[in-house]
Structures are given as C-alpha cells and as structure tokens.
Amino acid sequence: DKGGHRHFMAKEIAEQPTVLADAISRYLPAGADDIVLPEAIDFTAIDRLTMVACGTAFYACNVAKYWFEQLARLPVEIDVASEFRYREPPVPKGTAALFVSQSGETADTLAALRYCAGKADRILSVVNVPESSISRESDLALPIHAGVEIGVASTKAFTCQLLVLALLALEAARQRGEITAGELQDRLEDVRALPGLLNQALTIGDPVERLSRDLAEARDILFLGRGAMYPLALEGALKLKEISYIHAEGYASGELKHGPIALVDDHVPVIVMAPRDALFEKTISNMQEVMARGGRILLVSDAKGIKSAGDGVWRTIQMPDVSAFLAPILYAIPAQLLAYHTAVAKGTDVDQPRNLAKSVTVE
C-alpha cells in the first residue's frame, strides 16, 4: 500500500517525521531526562569503536564518526564491510564493534560481524529488522523502528539509523564525562524538535520537483559537503545514481581542487550541501572556484547561508535552521527528494531500479 503516493520511496520519504517521532519516543520516553537503551553499554570500558556497514548504512557510520569523536572523544574507525572482512584488521582489546544494517542480512556486513565475534569486547548492531541474522548474532541490537522499507533506495532507514547513532554518541559523551548535564539536555531538546523540522523540510518538495527537471538533463552531477555534511554529499550522489542512473559523485568540498574540479563546466551541476556552520566560509570559496569555471551551483542551505552566498549561484533550496549537530539528519531530505524527483522526471523505475536488490545477501 503506497498510501496515496506514486511510489513506495515517496511514501517512505514522507513518513520520516512520524517514524522518527516513534523512534525518539522509544529511546527518549516523554518526561525522561536520560537516553534509554534496551540494555546498558559501558562506554567508559572501551577505547575505540569500529563501525562497519555497506552503502547508505555505511554513510550513516561516516556521519556517526564525527559525532562519537567530537561529542564523546571516542576514536572511531569505519570501513565498508566488503573491505573490512578480507583485510582481517587487528581488533585490539577495548574495541567495541558496531554494525549498521537496515535488513540485518547483508552478506558482507554479517561476515564482518562474525570476524569480530570473539575478538571485540562487545558486538553492537543498529538494525531495522529485529529478527535478522545481524540482530541475533550481536551482543546488543539497537532497533531503529523505521518500519518496513520497500523502496530499494534506503530513505527512512537512513534517518532512523542516524537518530539512534546520535543518541548513542550522546550517551557515550555523558558516560565519558565529555558533556555537561546542561549541554546534554540542550542536545536532547534538539532531538525532540527533529520531527517538526523534518515536516518543515518536506515542504521543499515542490521547488525540488521543478529544478529536478533541469537536473534530469545532466550527464554528471557533483555533490559537495564539509564535516558531517560530507557523508551527506556521498549519500546524495548514491541516491541519485541508484534511481536516476545519472553519474554522480560526492566529494569533501576541500578535495575539489585535488582533482574533481577538472570535471567542472556549465554542463555539470554542482550540488553543495552546506548549512551555515563554522565551516561555511570555506565552502563559499569552494563555490566561487566552481562558478569561476562556469559551473552551476545548486546550494542547499538555510536562509543565512543563502544570503551570504550572494549572487551567481544557479539555484537554491532553502532549509529550516537546525543545530549543526542534527543537520546531517535534516539534510537527508533534500538528498532524497533531489534523487526522487530527478528519477521521476527521467521516468526510471524508482522503487525497483535496474540491477539492484533491496537486500544483498550474496557477496
């Protein structure tokens, strides 16, 4: 049942405020001041976290690395499961291993988990399907409560994975004494405000639909982001290529001049995911480098960011203001909607893109 939407993907994008609110209520019950986990995790007993996943779930790990390192000062190693399992990395004492998977059945992620079993101090997982293999074989599985996800392109599972990882990072920060009680309550307030912000962000659907008709003409598209928005650039590019078959790449903004800028001309739209944060000025200079070469910038930012970017930007998508902490969750919405509307404009099979399976149970 597509609930009145044209595709499951559209329904799953639109469901995000509701499913996030549900997931928040499980981990942050109304009236509680603390994060409630299904079982305790002692973050003072571990020295490092190894996070492993594939595809979009791997990009959620990329975002979470910023959170765990910045908030909890916990060193994080991340890798894609297909590399991790054959690299056979050392797993030093004091390592917790965390696997992220919507389906809980991805072959490479499961193999990476089995490699860590008996080596890591604790095997954790962040999963959507509670009865899945990855869930069962973990010491502690944290459900994301996204509900069934049917579209091959992962949408609500990504934002729910991010939510659970954000709360885990805050819990780690609290236990490790890296955050004051007041700061923690401020962050939890940010989390509680998320469903409302997601609802606001979804109103960009119409403008995104209009500009996606132009994007659908492109052969190549670049996505740029800095800090925790860099993984969002990767996610935006993956979503777009998966369902619209347009070649897209995500880069860290600062990497532009180390190669990819050679691709830029007036045929290559460059989508910049950049809320006005501490790194915004640096992103502006990257945009100027693109514009000086005739590149067309699509800036996804808040009102202040769009204002300070000035003239010369090809198109803008205005997002609500959001804390730097939770911007990666909110900016998933434009990443998803840009891919969705571009694919619809091209007339591709959005829910069942060619060559792809929802769950990759063979390597």
Provide the binding-site residues for ligand M6R, judged by CB under 6 A: 54-57, 101-103, 106, 109, 152-154, 238, 242, 359-360
CA angle 90, 93, 97 (to 5 degrees): 70
Cβ proximity to ligand M6R: between 56 and 244 the closer is 56
Taking the complex as a whole, the smallest distance from the CB of residue 155 to ligand M6R amounts, in Å, to 8
Cβ proximity to ligand M6R: between 146 and 173 the closer is 146
Taking the complex as a whole, the smallest distance from the CB of residue 188 to ligand M6R amounts, in Å, to 27
Best CA proximity match to 332, nearest among 210, 160, 143? 160
Cβ proximity to ligand M6R: between 154 and 301 the closer is 154
Token pair, residue 228, equals 């925790």
Cβ proximity to ligand M6R: between 200 and 359 the closer is 359
Give the residue closest to ligand M6R by C-beta. 55
Report the C-alpha gap between 48 and 68 in whole angstroms.
Answer: 10
Cβ proximity to ligand M6R: between 271 and 309 the closer is 271
Report the C-alpha gap between 39 and 209 in whole angstroms.
Answer: 43
Cβ proximity to ligand M6R: between 14 and 173 the closer is 14
Taking the complex as a whole, the smallest distance from the CB of residue 257 to ligand M6R amounts, in Å, to 29
Taking the complex as a whole, the smallest distance from the CB of residue 60 to ligand M6R amounts, in Å, to 9
Taking the complex as a whole, the smallest distance from the CB of residue 235 to ligand M6R amounts, in Å, to 8
Report the C-alpha gap between 167 and 178 in whole angstroms.
Answer: 14
Cβ proximity to ligand M6R: between 192 and 241 the closer is 241
Q: Where does residue 5 rank: exposed (0-12), middle (13-18), buried (19+ CB within 10 A)? A: middle
Taking the complex as a whole, the smallest distance from the CB of residue 163 to ligand M6R amounts, in Å, to 15
Taking the complex as a whole, the smallest distance from the CB of residue 245 to ligand M6R amounts, in Å, to 14
Q: How many Å is the maximal CA-CA distance in the chain?
A: 57
For residue 222, give Cα distances in angstroms to 169, 215, 231, 237, 341: 30, 11, 13, 7, 17
Report the C-alpha gap between 188 and 264 in whole angstroms.
Answer: 41
Taking the complex as a whole, the smallest distance from the CB of residue 8 to ligand M6R amounts, in Å, to 13
To 10 degrees, what angle do helices 181-201 and 332-346 make?
Answer: 20
Q: Mapping DSSP to helix (H, G, I), strand (E, B) and coil, where does residue 38 land?
A: coil
Bridge-based pairing of strands 220-225 and 247-252 is parallel
Question: What strands, in cross-sheet order, belong to the sheet with 140-143?
Answer: 76-80, 48-53, 95-101, 122-127, 140-143
Token pair, residue 296, equals 């067309």
Cβ proximity to ligand M6R: between 152 and 329 the closer is 152
Token pair, residue 53, equals 């996943």
